[in-house]
Structure 1
């Protein structure tokens, strides 16, 4: 049920919640509906409830079911869709553009622009409908550009990531921003496109993506009967890759490759005479767990298979391009934030997906520099996690202060302003539906064929 009665009930209920927590008495929601129960004939409580559902990244279906279980009078799905189309989505896009303009202005002042790029599909597998490509300023840890691509715009979901990069680069060129260094994963299409179209840009690869690929191949070798001696070395070889990049401060690719190949001799207990570029190991006397680890036997099947992985020609070409300083790990953190606002298990309209991605960008940018939380005694807070991939191992993580949501107030103020102005300009430009090129049968005919046992 929608209308004035529901507005008063919602306002009364949420107002009660606000009075329980004294610091919320003067919150924006309560002030708006107490001063004007209607905004241009639109019930204020209904509009603000729709805004709260969307800004929190909640599912409208589950939220309205919650109110139904509590026997609370609330808006219906049709009302939410109307509010979203007319006021909420345009407001989110406008606030994102405003924040983006400020980020672009700051980026123009940087003489050496270092960006990270990564794509994300809206569903697992090779059947994704939407793909998002995000560009981040790795120096400031801020999202500066997000592109949404629908799969039928590029032929298939496999090509969405490359198209997202192209659109993002074109956007930056239009704003007179030259990319000095670009850090991405090892996507073959992107590697070729950057090489051919951005000759003045240093293209670097993220370490985690390379190390993950090498670890998977070594784990496959370790599962073989002849490769059981490889397993104790997988973690060490992966760590060695990180060291090869981070210890080469000047980013010399030849030195990185020489250091990388030296691990093939190190695991045989050979620590000198590696190459002309990198002559000997730098670790000094080995102690502790490294001493107890069994050295691999020269000429053994396990060693030969391990060396095949280490000296793989394609891998060696990518080792030369490893990023020595900036990585895309923070982009992966942004994708975790995006999973809250646009979960992969839920389908959204084109602008629903786009604006929820913008919301994730606004939330990330506002909270990307949160300080570490401290205890009552003034000590920094940490937590211990046990990730599944570590098979019983643990990770120590920092605990940060609670996030803030100032961007939500900014969006809601714009929503109210649009409503007061009678601004009804829904976002129109969208790609055609995935089924738009298919032949659409008459419904009665399709039902008749479905019902017939001879179809």
Structure 2
């Protein structure tokens, strides 16, 4: 507090008893009065229409970068810094952050749809041939197994690999967690077709529910199966069968770097018969007819991995929180997937790096890409400031929250109401 020893106006001394400091979230305020009668309040951060700017920045920065309030709180405690509380964070999130995310997401999505509509418009000349959209679809649940609460179903453009639409499904909307994927697919495809998209082809996994839905409800759309998932499933079955006795030769065919060295299988061997039974599987042969375009959802799997940055599976979020965090991930993905290029040296040569493969133990080459850009975050920060400066947007007012149509969801995913606490305590039995 050495700054408050002498008055900056008259030079008179400022007694320690006339200096009072207090915090408003992350903002430090110091009230002082000198012996000459001058007094003022010093702030470590300016205000934005009465709200400390640092509080607004802290809440926005942690959400827009995919963090959580728990991480922000623990980091500030470790640094012994004053920070906003959980109530303030969620109030700022509802009034300013979520509406800004939704506005920018809808703006960028409309721009993407405009480009797609332009490509699918009837061709006027030979220079601009008509290109009907071809989509990739896949689901991602917030937890493995059959205990998921949320399911995101994303639709990606096959040519540019941009995410064009996503649907969020809560388990209470479906009969089980397994049925969330077909429900998300159906709802998302209905939205896209309702917008006027003339979808030519869509590739998904071999889900029986989606397969039946496409055959009955959308026979005009060519339905392809993801060949990557099919190959992955086939290799998994092959590896499982090769672990049995008398399958040493078949085991060699499951290891990539040993396939060229592996001997041919004899037609009367057990390994050959096992391999033939897998290759000649009736369902596989039937489904091969829907893999002719060789479409796969590999890039969607990469996007789903990126979702972990914004929606870690160990953290629970509300329905609105999950929805807006997925929109953040989409904006991050779409900004970089198209324009991101391989890095080059000063002489123009493409850059690579050496990486040791954990599976084979051998050294391989991987491309080095240019750093990712996050320009969407700067635009979001500007929109948050504009929204805070708008006098019609009232902090903590219900009317300032995001007015987004949502499905009619129960307050809890439990099938029955919660019993009284005393009743649960009476029934509780410890294992110890």
Q: Does TM-score exceed 0.5, indicating one fold? A: yes
d(CA) in 1 for partners of 2:303, 2:364: 20
> Who is 1:405 aligned against?
374
Q: 1:83 & 1:314 partners in 2: Cα distance?
A: 53
* Cα deviation code 1:241-294 (max 9, x no counterpart): xxxxxxxxxxxxxxxxxxxxxxxxxxxxxxxxxxxxxxxxxxxxxxx973x431
SS at match of 2:175: coil
Q: Relative to structure 1, is the Cα distance of residues 328 and 449 closer, same or farther in structure 2, using a 3 angstrom cutoff?
A: closer
**Conservation of the 8 A alpha-carbon contact between 2:227 and 2:295:** no
Describe how 1:314-353 pairs up with structure 2 within 5 A.
314-353=283-322
Counterpart mapping for 1:105-124 below 5 A: 105-111=114-120, 112-124=132-144
Does residue 1:169 correspond to 2:185, yes or no? no
The aligned runs of 1:348-387 (5 Å cut-off) are 348-369=317-338, 370-387=340-357
Is the helix fraction higher in 1 or 2?
1
- Corresponding residue for 1:441? 419
The CA distance in 1 between the partners of 2:22 and 2:236, in whole Å, is 55
Structure 2 distance, partners of 1:108, 1:145, is 15
Matched, 1:6 2:26: yes
| CA 373–443 in structure 1, closer or farther in 2 if over 3 Å, else same | same
Matched, 1:425 2:400: yes
- 8 Å contact kept, 1:87–1:415: yes
Q: Is the 8 A contact 1:206 1:323 kept in 2?
A: no
Query: Quick one: structure 1 residues 365 and 197, their matched pair in 2 at CA, closer, same or farther if it must change by over 3 Å?
Result: same
Partner residue of 1:138 out of 151, 158, 161: 158
Superposition deviation, residue 2 in structure 1? 9.5
Contact 2:101 2:327 in 1 (8 A): yes
The alpha carbon displacement at 1:184 in A equals 1.2
Q: Give the superposition deviation at 1:452.
A: 11
Could you tell me which residue of structure 1 aligns to residue 107 of structure 2? 98
Task: Check whether the contact 1:120–1:132 (CA below 8 A) recurs between aligned residues.
Answer: yes
Structure 1's unaligned 5+ residue stretches are 10-32, 240-287
In 2, distance between residues paired with 1:395 and 1:113? 36
- Equivalent residues in 2 for 1:33-432, closer than 5 Å: 37-111=46-120, 112-234=132-254, 290=260, 292-369=261-338, 370-388=340-358, 390-393=359-362, 395-421=364-390, 422-423=392-393, 424-427=399-402, 429=406, 431-432=409-410
> Aligned equivalents of 1:387 and 1:160: distance in 2?
36
Equivalent pair of 1:2/1:79 in contact (CA under 8 Å): no
Contact 2:171 2:180 in 1 (8 A): yes
| Partners of 1:451 and 1:306 in 2: CA distance | 52
Q: Which structure 1 residue ranges, 4+ long, deviate > 6 Å from structure 2?
A: none
| Structure with more strand by fraction | 2
Contact 1:123–1:344 (8 Å) recurs in 2: yes
Relative to the length of structure 2, the TM-score reads: 0.81
TM-score, normalised to structure 1, is: 0.77
Offset of residue 3 of structure 1: 5.6
Q: Is the 8 A contact 1:385 1:395 kept in 2?
A: yes
Could you say if the C-alpha distance between residues 452 and 380 of structure 1 is closer, same or farther in structure 2, counting changes exceeding 3 Å? Answer: closer
**SS at structure 2 position matched to 1:132:** strand
The one-character-per-residue Cα deviations of 1:346-402 (angstroms, maximum 9, x if unpaired) are 1111111111111000000000020101234432122344454x3435553221111
Change (3 A) 1:72 1:202: same
Instruction: Report the more deviating stretch, 204-213 or 390-399.
Output: 390-399
Please name the residue that 2:37 is paired with.
none
CA root-mean-square deviation: 2.6
Q: Distance in 2 between matches of 1:310 and 1:363?
A: 40
| Greater relative contact order (CA < 8 Å, ≥ 6 in sequence) | 1
* Structure 2 unaligned blocks of 5 or more: 1-20, 30-42, 121-131, 394-398
Whole-Å separation in 1 of the counterparts to 2:107 and 2:221: 28
Give the whole-Å Cα distance in 2 for the aligned partners of 1:124 and 1:155: 17
SS in 2 for 1:225: coil
Could you list the per-position Cα deviations for residues 217-257 of structure 1 after superposition, in whole angstroms to 9, with x for gaps in the alignment? 11111101122111222357xx9xxxxxxxxxxxxxxxxxx
